Homo-oligomer: A and B are copies of this chain.
Amino acid sequence: MSALPTDSLETPRFCGIPTFMRLPQADTLDGLDAAVIGIPSDSGAPFRTGARFGPNAVRQMSIMLRPINPYRGGLDVFERIRVADVGDTPVVPGYEVRSLERIEASVSALVEAGIVPFGIGGDHSVTLAELRAVAKRHGPVALIQFDSHTDTWDKYFAGERYSAGTPFRRGVEENIIDPAHSIQIGMRGSLFQPSDVSQSLDLGFDVVTTDELFEMGFDVLASRIAERVAGRPAFITFDMDFVDPASAPGVQTPESGGASARETLDLVRRLHGIDLVGCDVVEINPQYDGPGQITALLGATVLAEFLALLADR
């Protein structure tokens, strides 16, 4: 099996069943440095459902992407690291808790093999399952969360503890997130309670709102992130609603007033000093994305930037 993507100058992009970036679909985990894995669960979604179709939507738009990353010195990503698309985790739609168990098992198989998982959600609750898998090997991780919401609420709908709105409170409680080295970036919009943001501070997270990130500038923020994680094993989770709905209409809970695609990529490309042990891009819902599928394209591009971040060690 080749370790390189199909060459889009030889074979048109639309030929073939789409895998992420036209990478080989793995038969084996042997020798992989990183694996792209779809996590098609939306049982945690309190509003628009359909992120179960997110992984394949991202794959379909990812065929636009090419292997060289000019933003990290012309890095040829797949010369540096060996990557495959390993397909999807199983899930149990309508059964949030069981879905998280299945996701954790699939991701654990990667982590145990020393492979860095690159997840494609799925609603944001899937990140809790990924963190469980990663923490088994690396201990509590530094979390770098791009999101318009903190997702640190306690309970939803008369008491349910697992939802797209609660994973990072659960993660602290389960001691799989190290909040003292974690940071949440992009919060904005109206709040349920005055404590919606302060609850994250109370849990120990650093929090940067969308207004603050534009005030401080992206270089300052990138340094603040690097300082916060302080070289510890880090997991990056990217909720597409961090981005403004103009650039990412296909999400579960859109929040007007976020960063544009250009600003988002500019920020992501400045990330440095991160010991990446896992990451994901979540909350992509193709049914709300319009015919251009620009949310899926941007999500694929962000994930490809995370691959470059890993390769650029």
Residue A59 interfacial (CB < 8 Å): yes
10 nearest A-B residue pairs (beta carbon) = A249-B292, A43-B94, A68-B191, A94-B96, A66-B190, A245-B294, A246-B247, A257-B265, A49-B49, A287-B287
Evaluate contact between A249 and B291: CB separation under 8 angstroms.
Answer: yes
Residues of A236-285 whose CB lies within 8 A of B: 244-247, 249-251, 253-262, 264-266
Q: Give the number of times this chain occurs in the complex, counting copies.
A: 6
Chain B residues lying within 8 Å of A47, measured Cβ to Cβ, are 12-14, 64
Whole-angstrom CA separation of A162 from B301 in the bound complex: 28
Pick 6 A–B contacts, CB within 8 A, sort by A: A12-B90, A66-B192, A74-B191, A254-B292, A256-B265, A288-B292
Whole-angstrom CA separation of A193 from B162 in the bound complex: 35
Nearest opposing residue in chain B for A209, CB measure? B70
Evaluate contact between A14 and B290: CB separation under 8 angstroms.
Answer: no
Mark A4-27 against chain B: 1 for CB-CB distance below 8 A, else 0. 000111111111111100000100
Which of A133-141, A150-158, A217-225, A226-234 is the interface stretch? A150-158
Residue A89 interfacial (CB < 8 Å): yes
Residues of A147-168 whose CB lies within 8 A of B: 153, 155-158, 160, 162-163
**A94-B45, A301-B256 known; A50+B17 contact, CB < 8 A:** no
Residue A206 interfacial (CB < 8 Å): no
Residue A131 interfacial (CB < 8 Å): no
Residues of A182-207 whose CB lies within 8 A of B: 189-194, 196-197
**A256-B298, A257-B265, A291-B288 known; A94+B56 contact, CB < 8 A:** no
Whole-angstrom CA separation of A258 from B298 in the bound complex: 12
A-side interface size class: 35 or more
Expressed in whole angstroms, the minimum distance between the Cβ of A299 and any Cβ of chain B is: 9
Expressed in whole angstroms, the minimum distance between the Cβ of A286 and any Cβ of chain B is: 9
Evaluate contact between B19 and A93: CB separation under 8 angstroms.
Answer: no
Evaluate contact between A68 and B193: CB separation under 8 angstroms.
Answer: yes
**A191-B68, A289-B291, A291-B289 known; A91+B256 contact, CB < 8 A:** no
Evaluate contact between B265 and A46: CB separation under 8 angstroms.
Answer: no
Expressed in whole angstroms, the minimum distance between the Cβ of A51 and any Cβ of chain B is: 9
Mark A36-63 against chain B: 1 for CB-CB distance below 8 A, else 0. 0010101111111110110010011000
Evaluate contact between A64 and B301: CB separation under 8 angstroms.
Answer: no
Find the residue from A18, A44, A262 having the highest chain B CB count within 10 A. Answer: A262
Chain B residues lying within 8 Å of A153, measured Cβ to Cβ, are 9
Whole-angstrom CA separation of A211 from B263 in the bound complex: 11
Evaluate contact between B246 and A260: CB separation under 8 angstroms.
Answer: yes
Evaluate contact between A60 and B56: CB separation under 8 angstroms.
Answer: yes
Nearest opposing residue in chain B for A158, CB measure? B10
CB within 8 A of A287: which of B13, B44, B245, B288? B288
